[in-house]
Amino acid sequence: MSIAAPPPLPGAALVLGIETSCDETAAAVVAGDRRILSNVVLSQDEAHRPYGGVVPEIAARAHVEVLDRLIAQALAEAGVGFGDLGAVAATAGPGLVGGVMVGLMTGKAIAAARHLPFIGVNHLEGHALTARLTDGIPFPYLLLLVSGGHCQLLVVEGVGRFRRLGTTIDDAVGEAFDKTAKLLDLGFPGGPAVERAALAGNPKRFDLPRPMLGRPGSDFSFSGLKTAVRQVVGGLGWPLAAQDAADVAASFQAAVADVLADRAGRALKEAARLLAPMPLVVAGGVAANRTLRARLEEVAARHGVAFLAPPLKLCTDNAAMIAWAGCEHLALGHTDPLDLGPRARWPLDPTARAGAKA
Ligand code: KG4
Ligand code: ZN
């Protein structure tokens, strides 16, 4: 049986956002006029560190243990109670389905108990719309979404309206960072560790492949680069000398930067041909990387368009982006029924290949 959610409230409603799709438990309160009243994120890094990656069952259990307290904290920091909310938004996918269910059920329960509208948010749309929360930029813009599970170039034409220009044909770029960190024994999570190690490294020491560079279109591939890193590391003495690890990290990061710059440049050209020249926006956890940001900024400048990267803490997983996506949908009168289910896969673009990483 479907339980109908009440209609949305007009104006700058306060939306409670909940995010539990991977290894961050997060809750936030955001207003429809772009004010972030609170944004609480609890990382599970410690719980997953012994395994060198996210363990789905551990993640789901950890979300259950802390989510109620985190929501209470987000409301307290915002200085509001459930009665002040205009809606509840929770990530409904894509992601680790056990974790998604925890946040989704909690969000729906609050909405049901408080007779509030509910919005089930696509996690990727949360990343995609963050630049509108932070900078209020108008549609359309070209989004480079780079995270642990995703690597895509999308034209964001409106809320819920995306046109995909490129995607990875194998691994996501964040995954390549995480695998490289593992090979270099740099610890978990891998992206920030590789970036840190690269600071002391020589990016020219190892001539690593740049998959897809110069190819038509805007697709990505990282598996060949990952294999090349494994071969290079295999040829060095073990345990690795700190300088060797730093040089591999820097060479890897330089290869990724070249690929992202090339692909984003081509997509900017294609987006201009399809619609009009448009800003380049970067989102997702990998967008926290300063070297990559700098390269993308250059690409945008070369194409004569603005470059936008949300502040670091809004690039990695958080609930402010989920609350904001909720605000955007609410403003358009989009809400979801309370029997909405979780989705492990949920591509933003309906033309996405079946079986491709969401
Ligand atoms: O968006 P996100 O927080 O979670 C999802 O995958 O949805 O992205 C996490 C990914 C991980 O692969 C992590 O290693 C990567 O983003 N990452 C970075 C950096 N910070 C996080 N990669 C490169 N450089 C960083 N500074
Ligand atoms: Zn994410």
Q: Where are the beta strands (DSSP E) in 123-210?
A: 141-146, 151-158, 161-167
Looking at residue 11, its pLDDT comes to 55
Q: Is residue 171 within 6 Å of ligand 1 at its C-beta? A: no
Give the pLDDT confidence score for residue 352 in this predicted structure: 58
Residue 63: pLDDT band with limits 50, 70, 90:
confident
In this structure, which residue's CA is closest to atom 19 in ligand 1?
191
Give nearest CA residue, ligand 1 atom 8: 285
Least distant ligand from the CA of 310: 1
Question: Is ligand 1 within 6 A of the CB of residue 122?
Answer: no
- Ligand 1 atom with the smallest distance to the CA of 173 is 12
Q: Picking from 144-153, 169-178, 347-356, which range would have the lowest pLDDT averaged per residue?
A: 347-356
Q: Which CATH number is associated with domain 14-132+314-331? A: 3.30.420.40
> Looking at residue 181, what is its pLDDT?
95
Task: Kindly report the pTM of this predicted structure.
Answer: 0.90
- Topology of the domain comprising 140-312: Nucleotidyltransferase; domain 5 (3.30.420)
- The yes-or-no verdict on residue 356 having pLDDT over 60 is no
User: Does residue 355 have a pLDDT over 50?
Assistant: no
Residue 89 near residue 119 (C-beta atoms within 8 A): yes
pLDDT at 203 over 90: yes
Q: Are strands 151-158 and 141-146 parallel, antiparallel or unpaired?
A: antiparallel
> Per-residue pLDDT for 41 more than 50?
yes
| CB 23 near ligand 1, within 6 Å | no
The answer to whether 14-132+314-331 and 140-312 have equal CATH topology is yes
Q: Are 16 and 324 in contact (CB under 8 A)?
A: no
**Arithmetic mean of pLDDT, 314-324:** 96
pLDDT at 130: 96
Predicted local confidence at residue 56, as pLDDT: 81
- Domains of the chain by residue range: 14-132+314-331, 140-312
Q: Which ligand is nearest to the CA of 172?
A: 1
CA of 148 to the centre of ligand 1 (A): 5
